[in-house]
Chains A and B, each alone.
Chain A
Amino acid sequence: MLSKNLIISFVGDMSRFWRRYKKNRGGVVGLLFLAFVVILAIAAPAISTYDPTKTGVGGIFAEPSSTHLLGTDHLGRDIYSRLLVGARVALLVSFLAAGISAVIGSVVGAIGGYFGGIVDHLLSKVTEIFQVIPMFFLALLLLTIFGGSQWIVISTIGVLGWPSIARVTRGEFIREREKEYVQAAFALGASNLDIALFEIFLNVLPPIIISTCFVMSSAMLTEAALSFLGISDPSIPSWGRMIGDARLFLFRDVWWVLLPPALMLCITTIGINLIGDALNRIIR
């Protein structure tokens, strides 16, 4: 009976939230874009027609046809199949990298904002430093040193992407820290960890999620850019790598090599950004 009440109240909250969300046209479009890509990624094994990494499954630069829906590339690989697996790569890399950024950023921001004083001062300086160094070149450097395996790409992008999340979290913690419910928790004897984790964090979660959305879309672009430059694992079909490969053959009239991955990248990042914007509007 009690858990039933809890579920009812949760469902109520969600339906109220959805009523507001669906009024935001950009947000709905973003959700459709992202849903499209997510469905492709999930269904990839079922709907792809060839092994995406196998060369010579068709002729070189075969035009789109019924056998190769989006044609083939310079090694005769099936672009449609590569595109589907590319969706998996893009989502996985950006999601995990953004997750790493969110954990680091919210811990750093929470500690600084909660304790203030010298701790905050130091952490803010560190955050600033991370923000002014040119991330992309640092990532290039790191990946050249450590090699471009997918896990290293993910961790590098994740470790470099946290400052914006830390800034948002810090600001929110400073604001919440002053509220009376925090004083009430102190009066009960709650510890700093209890208060930061179980009282304040619940209240600052929405802005953290929103800034993580934006970090995720930029992580996706970073991954694409790294692959474009040929830094990441060549055996993994990534949209960035597909665009990078296509670049070399632009003098030939092979639009199907370039356009599909570029379009997918746009749709996905724009979709995530639109969702972030919509959520932002709703909580303000």
Chain B
Amino acid sequence: MLEVRNLKKYYQLKAGIFKKQVGFVHAVDGISFNVKKGETLGLVGESGCGKTTAGLTILRLIEPTAGEVFFEGKDIFKATKKEMRTFRRELQIIFQDPYSSLNPRMTVYDIVSEPLKVHGLARKKNEKTEKVSQLIKKAGLSPHEHMHRYPHEFSGGQRQRIGIARALATNPKLIIADEPVSSIDVSVRAQILNLLQDLKKEFRLTMLFISHDLSVVKHVCNRVAVMYVGKIVEIAKTKDLYNNPQHPYSEVLLSAIPVPNPKIRRKRILLRGEVPTPVNPPLGCRFHPRCSYAEPACEKVEPKLINIGGPDEHLVACHLRK
């Protein structure tokens, strides 16, 4: 349904008083994956590895450096203005920060009705009001009480519900959820995740679920793609990844998840060194300076993403798995 091919986004790095360009931030550096109809694909990795950039570039909210993105077979980056309107209706995004992503001067009604207005989905006023009420209710807020309030009157969790109602207004086919719970209070995270799960079923959504938290991804996603410094290092079914991680970096990430049952003790792997900057990423495998299994080849040759799982597709980019 969504196919991403060799997507790249380099930000220009400028410095000095004259804003001279001094290099590039290789935020997303050639990633490929697909999201199948009806599934939730997780995109995980540490903060700064390029997840948000990937999401925004896929939706063409920032211009890509290279690559292609197909939605239902059509290339988003080559779309005309008219085709783009259709994409804007069928693809939606839920932002990480429910504070900055809602216009402070618009009421909940204005915010949720905007997509209806933009796409001409409710012509008459009472039709629009009816639809906005429905959406607000679906997102778990009360139309009567909340419709004409401003974002600053709500808590983080409630704001994220407003963002969800807005994303659903156009009846989209695919939603990119960029860390939808990471900036809201821990106590309400589960509620928001459950809401997303319910709405996903009800609206038959396909989802790209971005997160840095593997314990969240485990409950929400069918498959997971692991990102490290602008590259995807492993893609597998959630169960396979959690039980049998193939990339050394995935192994490290998984070892950091707290285990609820204290009897099972997992060995937590500590990483040496620091996350490399995406300005000058390491040659060869980007993980090699920190990898405890690194071989000489890892420093020179960049590993390709290959399938080692047969029909169940378990892709990994590591010289040690062949």
Bound CA–CA A202/B172 (angstroms): 28
A184-B95, A187-B92 in contact; A9/B100 too (CB < 8 A)? no
**Is A9 a contact partner of B105 (Cβ separation < 8 A)?**
no
Chain A's closest residue to B91 (CB) is A187
Q: A199: which of B85, B103, B115, B166 is its contact (CB, 8 Å)?
A: B103
Tell me whether A203 and B104 are in contact in the complex, defined as CB-CB below 8 angstroms, given that A187-B59, A189-B85, A190-B114 are known contacts.
yes
> Which of the four size classes fits the interface of chain A?
20 to 34
Q: Which residues of B contact A6 (CB under 8 A)?
A: 107, 148
Using a CB-CB cutoff of 8 Å, which residues 67-107 of chain B contact chain A? 84-85, 88-89, 92-93, 95, 97, 100-107
Whether A181 contacts B103 in the complex (CB less than 8 A), given A5-B148, A187-B88, A189-B85, comes out as: yes
A199 to B289, CA, bound (A): 46
A179 to B107, CA, bound (A): 18
B170 within 8 Å of A (CB atoms): yes
CB–CB A5/B166 < 8 A: no
Closest-CB distance, A89 to chain B (whole angstroms)? 36
Chain B residues with CB below 8 A from A185, complex form = 103, 114
B65 within 8 A of A: no
User: What are the residues of chain A within 8 A of B106 when measuring CB–CB?
Assistant: 199, 202
Whether B101 pairs with A180 at a CB distance below 8 angstroms is yes
Q: Bin chain B's interface residue count.
A: 20 to 34
Residues of chain A from 198 to 230 with CB closer than 8 A to chain B in the complex: 199, 202-203
Q: Which of chain B's residues have a CB closer than 8 A to the CB of A183?
A: 56, 61, 95, 101
A2 at the interface (CB under 8 A from B): yes
Residues from chain B with Cβ under 8 Å of A190 in the complex: 114, 118
> Which of A2, A181, A191 meets B101, CB within 8 Å?
A181
B149 in the interface (beta carbon within 8 A)? yes
Nearest CB in chain A: distance from B254 CB, A: 31
Chain B's closest residue to A183 (CB) is B61
| CB-based nearest B residue for A191 | B118
Complex contact A189–B89 (CB within 8 A): yes
Q: How far is the CA of A190 from the CA of B166 in the complex (A)?
A: 13
Q: Which of B56, B97, B114 contacts A188 (CB 8 A)?
A: B114
Q: Which residues of chain B from 137 to 193 have any CB-CB distance to chain A below 8 Å in the complex?
A: 144, 147-150, 163, 166, 170
Residues 222-263 of B, flagged 1 when their CB comes within 8 A of A and 0 if not, give 000000000000000000000000000000000000000000
**Contact status A187-B61, CB under 8 Å:** yes
B11-55 vs A, Cβ < 8 Å mask (1 yes, 0 no): 000000000000000000000000000000000000000000000
**Nearest CB in chain B: distance from A175 CB, A:** 13
Q: Shortest Cβ distance from A169 into chain B, in angstroms?
A: 16
B134 within 8 A of partner (CB): no
- Contact between chains at A181 and B118 (CB < 8 Å): no
Judge whether A51 is part of the interface by a CB distance below 8 angstroms. no
B109-141 interface with A by 8 A CB criterion: 114-115, 118-119, 129
Indicate whether A186 sits within 8 Å of B147 (C-beta atoms), given known contacts A179-B100, A194-B118, A203-B105. no
A180 CB contact (under 8 Å) in B59, B84, B97, B147: B97
Is A180 a contact partner of B95 (Cβ separation < 8 A)? yes
Q: A180-B101, A189-B89 known; A9 and B61 CB under 8 Å?
A: no
CA distance A184 to B95 in the complex (A): 8
Cα separation A277 to B318 with both chains bound (whole Å)? 64
In the complex, the chain A residue whose C-beta lies closest to that of B115 is A188
**Alpha-carbon distance between A192 and B109 when the two chains are bound, in angstroms:** 21
B103 touches A202 (CB 8 A): yes
- Chain A residues with a Cβ under 8 A of chain B: 1-2, 5-6, 9, 179-181, 183-191, 194, 199, 202-203
Known contacts A186-B61, A188-B92; 20 further A-B pairs (Cβ under 8 A): A1-B144, A2-B129, A2-B148, A5-B148, A6-B107, A6-B148, A179-B100, A180-B100, A181-B102, A181-B103, A183-B56, A184-B166, A187-B88, A188-B115, A189-B115, A189-B118, A189-B119, A190-B118, A202-B106, A203-B104
